[in-house]
């Protein structure tokens, strides 16, 4: 399989996925991004060429991976002739059908991970979820995915969106709470390092036990004394105070069940 890829987009996801594709032996013909710095930087990492102009997107690839904001699809995709090509997006929450108007062959390749441009990841350990408009295209995507990930499944658009929502809670909101914690520590001149072993153990626990069994802290104990001390202490952080109150209540209500 010497498939040729073009990557449309050069952000966090495009960077890590294109590197994984290259490492698996696929050819990356070109990178497109409106942002020249990103396009150039990714093309260098891939040892390939780039363009910032939709009219110069290479029409000769087999697979076009779209890793741009869906609101930009209409600015880019109508300019390329995808006849006989496979057009693939990587979004958790865009249905497969959004690609229908651009190509006869289309699919979704959704790697469930948090990507940053400058942080390389072991792609092999990332679960990848596939969907396509035909069995033939599904088979192509499965073959590609199995070259770069050890965990590949087929999942429809509806379920993929709920998977994405669960990831927003388990990753994006979790990271935001790390940020909230970091802010509270900064105000008290305590280094963030103090929390690092706790953060790791919290994540490690649920690798082995169900999260509902791993719950600790004042809310699950319904330790009203501690909870009211904390709420009082957060008076200068009204936003965090509101989160503290509503989430503690939710933990308690859920635990009663």
Residues numbered 40-99 forming contacts with a second copy, rule: CB under 8 A: 69-71, 91, 93-94
* The one among 226, 238, 245, 256 contacting a second copy by CB under 8 A: 226
Q: How far is the CB of 55 from a second copy (least distance, A)?
A: 26
Q: How far is the CB of 46 from a second copy (least distance, A)?
A: 21
* The one among 51, 127, 147, 245 contacting a second copy by CB under 8 A: 127
Scanning 34-42, 45-53, 122-130, 131-139 for contacts with a second copy by CB under 8 A, the matching segment is 122-130
At residue 105's C-alpha, the angle toward residues 100 and 106, to 5°, is 60
Q: How far is the CB of 203 from a second copy (least distance, A)?
A: 4
**Helices then strands, each counted (H, E), the chain:** 11, 8
Return the number of the residue (3 or 167) whose C-beta is nearest a second copy.
Answer: 167
Helix (H, G, I), strand (E, B) or coil at 206: helix
Q: How far is the CB of 126 from a second copy (least distance, A)?
A: 6
Q: Contacts with a second copy in 6-25 (CB under 8 A)?
A: 12
List of residues 6+ apart from 89 with CB closer than 8 A: 65, 66, 67, 70, 73, 98, 99, 106, 108, 109
The two tokens of residue 181 are 């914690």
Residue identified by tokens 């880019």 is 76
Return the number of the residue (134 or 156) whose C-beta is nearest a second copy.
Answer: 156
Burial class (CB in 10 A: 0-12, 13-18, 19+), 191: exposed
d(CA 152, CA 180): 34
Q: Contacts with a second copy in 149-208 (CB under 8 A)?
A: 155, 158-159, 161-182, 184-185, 187-190, 192-208
Q: Are strands 106-111 and 86-89 parallel, antiparallel or unpaired?
A: parallel
Residue identified by tokens 């069995």 is 135
Binding mask 200-219 for a second copy (x = CB under 8 A): xxxxxxxxxxxxx-xxxxxx
- Identify whether the C-beta of residue 44 lies closer than 8 Å to the C-beta of residue 60: no
d(CA 7, CA 65): 5
Q: How far is the CB of 84 from a second copy (least distance, A)?
A: 30
* The one among 44, 116, 120, 134 contacting a second copy by CB under 8 A: 116
Q: How far is the CB of 177 from a second copy (least distance, A)?
A: 5
Return the number of the residue (54 or 231) whose C-beta is nearest a second copy.
Answer: 231
* The one among 112, 144, 148, 152 contacting a second copy by CB under 8 A: 112
Return the number of the residue (4 or 153) whose C-beta is nearest a second copy.
Answer: 153
Count CB atoms within 10 A of the CB of residue 193. 8
Q: How far is the CB of 97 from a second copy (least distance, A)?
A: 13
């Amino acid at each position: 399989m010497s498939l040729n890829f073009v990557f449309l987009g050069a952000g966090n996801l495009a960077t890590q996925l294109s590197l994984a594709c290259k490492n698996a032996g696929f050819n990356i013909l070109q990178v497109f991004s409106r942002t020249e710095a990103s396009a150039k930087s990714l093309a260098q990492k891939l040892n390939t060429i780039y363009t910032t102009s939709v009219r110069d997107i290479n029409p000769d690839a087999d697979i076009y991976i779209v890793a741009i904001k869906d609101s930009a699809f209409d600015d880019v995709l109508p300019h390329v002739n995808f006849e006989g090509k496979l057009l693939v997006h990587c979004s958790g929450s865009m249905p497969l059908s959004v690609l229908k108007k651009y190509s006869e062959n289309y699919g979704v390749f959704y790697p469930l991970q948090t990507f940053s441009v400058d942080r390389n990841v072991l792609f092999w350990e990332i679960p990848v979820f596939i969907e396509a408009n035909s069995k033939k295209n599904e088979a192509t995507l499965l073959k590609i995915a199995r070259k770069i990930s050890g965990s590949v499944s087929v999942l429809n658009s509806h379920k993929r969106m709920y998977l994405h929502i669960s990831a927003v809670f388990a990753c994006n909101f979790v990271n935001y709470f790390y940020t909230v914690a970091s802010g509270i520590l900064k105000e008290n001149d305590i280094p963030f390092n103090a929390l690092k072993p706790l953060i790791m153990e919290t994540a490690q626990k649920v690798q082995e036990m169900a999260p509902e069994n791993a719950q600790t802290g004042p809310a699950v104990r319904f330790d009203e004394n501690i909870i009211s001390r904390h709420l009082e202490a957060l008076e200068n952080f009204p936003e965090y105070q509101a989160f503290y109150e509503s989430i503690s209540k939710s933990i308690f209500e859920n635990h009663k069940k």
